[in-house]
Chains A and B, each alone.
Chain A
Amino acid sequence: MIEIKNLHASVDGTEILKGIDLVIEPGTVHAIMGPNGSGKSTLAYVLAGREDYEITDGDILFGGKSILELAPEERAAAGLFLAFQYPVEIPGVQMTTFLKTALNAIRKKRGEEELDAIGFLKLMKSTCDKLGIGEDMMKRPVNVGFSGGEKKRNEALQMAMLAPSFAVLDETDSGLDIDALKVVANGVNAMRAPERSFLVITHYQRLLDYIEPDTVHVLARGKIMKTGGPELAKELEEKGYAEFLSEAA
C-alpha cells in the first residue's frame, strides 16, 4: 500500500506539488489525469526518489514505512517502479547488461538468488515475446536510436522483468500507435494482481479504455482537484480541463 500525505515539493525554490493526499490500496489501479505542467511528472519523480526535488512537507509511506530517506535504488528494491515519460538514452550500455545488472541488484537486495546468464536470457526472451519486442533491441544500447514506441515498450518490458509491487506509469501512452498501446496495456493488465498496485498518469482518456482504473484523480496546479470513478475520465474527455485551470476552481 502507498500513502501520500500532504506532500509538498519544490524545485529551485518554486513549489510544484502543493499538498497531495493519495492512498493506493494493494490490487488497485489509480489514474491521474491533468493538464500539461500540473505536476504529474514531478509527483512520479518524487515517488522514485529523484534528487532535484526538495520535499518541504508531508510524507510518502510504502508498506507503512516512510521512503523519503531511501535512495532510488532502495525504493526499486522495495518494489517501486517508474515507467518514465521520457526514457533516458545510455550510449555504450547494452540493454542486456543493463537489465541483468538491475534485476540481479534487486534480487540481491531482497535476499533472493541472482540469476545466471541462462536463467536471465530465458526470462528476457519470454518477456520480450509477450510484449512483441524483437530480441535485436536487447543488443542495442539502452534507448539509443529507439523510436518513441520502442522506448515505451522498453519501459513496459523493464516493468515486467522487475515485477514491482507498485508501478507508476508516466504518460506511457504518449507517442504510441493503437497497436503498441494495446500491447503495453495488455502487459499491465497481465500484471494486475491482488498484491500489486498501479498509478497510471495520462493526459488522455484513451489509455484508460484498455487499462480500466478503479479510481481517477484530476491533478491541476499541484493539487488533486477531484476524485471519482472511471466515469470521471470520460467526463474529462468531453469537457477538457478548463474548469480546473482557473484560480477559482
Chain B
Amino acid sequence: MTALADILDRIPTRKSERWKFTNLPARLKKLTLEQGTLGWSGNVDILNKTAPGADKYADTALWDLNLQNTKDCRFIDGDAAIDVHAQAGKWYSPYLRVNIKKGQQATVIEKQSGDKSYWKNQVVDIVLEEGAILNHIRFQDEATDGIFTNFTHVTCAKDARYNAFTLTRGDGLSRNQIHVELQGPGADATIYGVNLLFGKQHADTTITVEHQAPNCTSNQFIRSVLAGESRGVFQGKVHVHRIAQKTDGYQLSNALLLSPLAEMDTKPELEIYADDVKCSHGATTGQLDEEPLFYMQSRGIPRPQARMLLIQAFLAELVDKIGDQTVKPEAEQAIEEWLHDHAGA
C-alpha cells in the first residue's frame, strides 16, 4: 500500500502552465489518506502503461500516477451505470476503459460521491471507433472535503461522436481534465458542463480538443453558478492541426457570481494551423441583474424566488441542450435542490 505522503512530490504544482489556478498539493497535504480499493474486478495488468498524447501535452502527471497505482479498473463496451463512492480517509486510482465499437451507440452514466475527506484520482480512457456514439454523463456530488481529479482522454475515429455532460454540485476540490483527439473526418465532440459551487468549493474544468482531421466539429459550453467563497476555473483549448480544414470549434464559459467573494478564472485558447476554419471562444462573468429582480419583486415574487428563477433561466440554456430525456429531468431536479439551498439572499 502506497501512502499519500510518498507520492506528493509527483503531483503537479501551480508552476505548471495548466495548473495555475488550482493548487492541488496544498489541499492534499492537509489530508491523511491510505490507499483504498473500490473492489472492481478488471485486470489491471492489461492496461496501457503510458498516458496517451504525453509527448504533445505534457500535463499527464496524474494519469501516470493513476497507472502506477491502479487497483480498480473496469472495461466498458456498452451502456453502463457506474457508482464511484469513496470512503473516508482513502485515496483511489480508478481506471475506466471505454471502447465503443464501429457504429454502436452507448450511454455511460457516472455517479461520483464520497464520505468526508478522500481523494479519487480517476482516469477515463475512451476509444470511439468509426461512427460510434458515446453519451457520457457525470453527476458529481462529492463531499465538502472530498478531492476528485479526473482525466478523460477520448479518441474519435471517422464520424464518431463524443457527447459529454457533467453536473458538478459538490466537491472540496475537483479537476475535470478532458483531452479529445478528433482523428477521423466528421468526428464531433460536444462537452457541456454545469458547475454549482458554494462555501470554499473549487471546480476546475480544463479541456483540450485537438482537431486532427478535416470536417470535424467541437463545442465546449460551461455554465457556472458560484456562491460563497467558491472558485471556478475554465481552461479550454481548441487546437486545429494543419490538415484539419473545415473545422468548426467553439468554446464558451459563462459564470454567474452570487457573492462578492466568489471567483471565476477563465482561459479560453485557440491554436489554429489550418486556414479554412470557423472557431470562436468567449467567456463572461457577471452577477444577477437588479432590473429583472426588481420587476419580479414588484409583482410579489419574493427576492430569493426571483433569484432562483433568474439562475434557472441562466442554466436552462445549457440544460435544454441535453439530448438524453432520462438525464435531463434528473439534472433539473438536482439543480432545483441546489438552488433551494444556495440561491437565496
Contacts and interface: CB of A to CB of B under 8 A. Distances in A.
Contacts of B54: none
Interface in B284-321: 290-292, 294-303, 305, 309-310, 312-314, 316-317
Given A88-B291, A90-B310, A158 B299 contact: yes
Contacts, number: 81
B295 A87 contact: yes
Given A88-B291, A93-B310, A102 B299 contact: yes
A50 B305 CA distance: 17
Contact of B302 (A50, A75, A89, A105): A105
Contact of B317 (A90, A92, A142): A92
A81 B297 CA distance: 11
Nearest to A90: B292
Contacts of B301: 73, 98, 101-102, 105
Interface in A31-78: 48-51, 71-73, 75-77
Contact of B300 (A84, A102, A141): A102
A216 interface: no
Contacts of A84: 295, 298
Nearest to A99: B299
Contacts of A51: 290, 294
Interface in A74-113: 75-77, 81-82, 84, 87-93, 97-99, 101-103, 105-106, 109
Contacts of B297: 49, 71-73, 76
A88 B309 contact: no
Nearest to B294: A50
A90 B302 contact: no
Contact of B313 (A73, A87, A92, A106): A92
B299 A98 contact: yes
A158 B298 CA distance: 11
| A interface residue count range (under 10 / 10 to 19 / 20 to 34 / 35 or more) | 20 to 34
A97 B306 CA distance: 11
Contacts of A71: 297, 302-303
Contacts of A73: 297-303
Given A76-B300, A106-B300, A101 B295 contact: no
Contacts of A93: 292, 309-310, 312-313
A77 B297 CA distance: 10
A243 B56 CA distance: 78
B298 A101 contact: no
A88 B292 contact: yes
Nearest to A102: B299
Contacts of B291: 88
Contacts of B296: 90, 98, 101-102
Contacts of B303: 71, 73
A101 B309 contact: yes
Nearest to A78: B300
B345 to A, nearest CB: 13
B287 to A, nearest CB: 15
B312 to A, nearest CB: 8
Given A102-B300, A105-B300, A109-B300, A72 B294 contact: yes
Nearest to A94: B313
A1 interface: no
A137 interface: no
Contacts of B312: 92-93
A102 to B, nearest CB: 4
B305 A101 contact: yes
Closest CB pairs A-B (n = 8)? A92-B313, A76-B300, A72-B297, A102-B299, A106-B300, A88-B295, A90-B292, A73-B297
13 contacts: A71-B302, A73-B299, A73-B303, A77-B300, A92-B316, A93-B309, A93-B313, A98-B296, A99-B299, A101-B309, A102-B300, A102-B301, A109-B300
Interface of B: 290-292, 294-303, 305, 309-310, 312-314, 316-317
